[in-house]
Amino acid sequence: MEYVFHIIIMLNIYIMLVLSANLTIGMANLLTMCQAAFYGIGAYIGTYFLMQFSLPFLVIAGLVMLFTGLFSCLVSFASVRLKGDYFVIATMGFQLIVYTVLYNWTDVTRGPYGIPGIPGIKLGGMYELSGVYEYLFMSLALVGVVVFLFHHLVVSPFGRTLNAIRADELTVKAMGRNTVLFKSIAFFLSAAVAGLAGVIYASYVSYIDPTSFTLDESIFIISALFIGGIGNTKGPILGALFVVLLPELLRFVGLPDSIAANLRQIIYGLALILVMYYRPQGIWGKAILK
């Protein structure tokens, strides 16, 4: 049973990541390839706060989201100057720089050795969460809030403006909307929630190293997003379900571990190609990538 709960916790983390990617990629058509960088920044900043200060969770979550969000300004800045493929390669560059810094700045991050013994999250009364059950409930509650808020963003006037920007940015500007501001806010919120997922991951697993926050991880997140679907809330959730549950399904079938890891990647890749061909909006999505 504990194993099932572990899967659900990881699923919750990925739901947050994929939803956060949907805000920029799905809503505003800004193809960012650096979601794992924000995930990693959140994890490392969160680890720092968890290990240095004995603060209640909401304070730490707030700080992590704020600082991770601030890093998104770099990407917003790039999105003003760079369009199309240049923007994609710039976000890949940002992802690789973050990874290189996490890996090589050993004085702070311990580099490839990783940081072990990260303390658990403390709720209001200094009660430290530990064990699968408590993280399960905490992550479920948190995902509930994130899903609610992101769904609200999708259907709210804010989501409407982002959708309009994806259709035709110049017209939206001529309608009196500061499109740069709207995009920057989208980047900020997206990064902040990815950072939140990072701190949950760090405290739950209690060990982090840079290999969890690679370009491959970013590609994995957007694969999940595009398989599930973009532009609404249920598509990204379905995508997260697909990529987290498929390995368990393969395990259930009884494939040896040596093949299973590669095989599931092959399935993700094939799914991505087929979805792009037959249903470019994703299995359950609403918008099509422009």
∠ CA 280-220-236, nearest 5°, is: 50
The tokens of 274 are what? 């087929």
Whichever of 83 and 251 has its CB closer to other proteins, that residue is 83
Task: Out of 82, 123, 205, 241, name the contact with other proteins by CB under 8 A.
Answer: 82
Residue 256 C-beta: closest distance to other proteins, Å: 11
Task: Kindly state the DSSP code that residue 288 receives in the 8-state scheme.
Answer: -
Write down the residue that tokens 């240049």 correspond to.
Answer: 86
- Does position 251 interact with other proteins (CB under 8 A)? The reply is no
- Does position 238 interact with other proteins (CB under 8 A)? The reply is no
Whichever of 179 and 203 has its CB closer to other proteins, that residue is 179
C-alpha Rg value of the chain to the nearest Å? 19
∠ CA 78-143-206, nearest 5°, is: 85
Residue 196 C-beta: closest distance to other proteins, Å: 15
Q: What is the largest CA-CA distance in the chain?
A: 58
- Does position 255 interact with other proteins (CB under 8 A)? The reply is no
- Does position 280 interact with other proteins (CB under 8 A)? The reply is yes
Classified as helix, coil or strand, 130 is coil
Distance from C-alpha of 162 to C-alpha of 20, rounded to nearest angstrom: 14
The tokens of 115 are what? 């940081």
Please name which of 262, 260, 258, 218 lies closest in space to residue 18, comparing C-alpha atoms: 218
Whichever of 131 and 269 has its CB closer to other proteins, that residue is 269
- Scored b (16 or more CB within 10 A) or e, 100-121 reads ebbbeeeeebebeeebeebebb
- Does position 270 interact with other proteins (CB under 8 A)? The reply is yes
Distance from C-alpha of 197 to C-alpha of 20, rounded to nearest angstrom: 10
Task: Out of 158, 205, 241, 247, name the contact with other proteins by CB under 8 A.
Answer: 158
Q: Which stretch binds other proteins (CB under 8 A): 130-138, 164-172, 203-211, 238-246?
A: 164-172
Q: Which stretch binds other proteins (CB under 8 A): 9-17, 44-52, 123-131, 165-173?
A: 165-173
Residue 236 C-beta: closest distance to other proteins, Å: 15
Distance from C-alpha of 252 to C-alpha of 81, rounded to nearest angstrom: 48
- Does position 266 interact with other proteins (CB under 8 A)? The reply is yes
Task: Out of 19, 36, 215, 224, name the contact with other proteins by CB under 8 A.
Answer: 215
- Does position 126 interact with other proteins (CB under 8 A)? The reply is no
Q: Which residues, other chains included, contact 112 with Cβ-Cβ below 8 Å and sequence gap of 6+? A: 103, 209, 210, 211
- Does position 259 interact with other proteins (CB under 8 A)? The reply is yes
Say how many residues touch other proteins, by CB under 8 A: 70
Can you give the binding site for other proteins, defined by CB under 8 A?
31, 78, 81-83, 85-86, 88-90, 92-94, 96-97, 99-101, 103-104, 149, 152-153, 156-158, 160-161, 163-164, 166-168, 170-179, 185, 189, 215-216, 219, 222-223, 226, 231, 259, 262-263, 265-266, 268-273, 276-277, 280, 287-290
